[in-house]
Amino acid sequence: MRHWAVSFGLFVGVVAAAAGVALLDYDNDGRLDIFFTNGARIDDPMPDGKLPDKSDPRFWNRLYHQNTEGTFTDVTEKTGLTGMAQHYYTMG
């Protein structure tokens, strides 16, 4: 990565904010599951006291359970990890 070191006028990297991913065995079945963090709708400018909006499913975090045959099932709602109720803006 590269970004500008402003005080010296040098270009040394790019700073980026992105969603994150984690591989974990959330249910202890011996298979790795996948958790993706996701952002939220943020108005510009953001009004005072307003929280990020995760009500639209496209902004939800996602947890995918690995099935025995290697496919994945979305268990986000079942596990309560959408982030919607907390209105969190999640990043990697």
Each residue's pLDDT tens digit, 68-88: 999 999 999 999 988 877 666
Q: Is the pLDDT of residue 30 over 70?
A: yes
In angstroms, the Cα distances linking 89 to 26, 43, 61 are 22, 13, 9
| pLDDT-based confidence at residue 46 (cuts at 50, 70, 90) | confident
pTM of the model: 0.70
Q: In terms of residues, how long is the chain?
A: 92
SS3 76: helix
- Beta bridge partners, 65, equal 73
Amino acid at 29: D
Q: Is the pLDDT of residue 10 over 80?
A: no
State the pLDDT at residue 82. Answer: 84
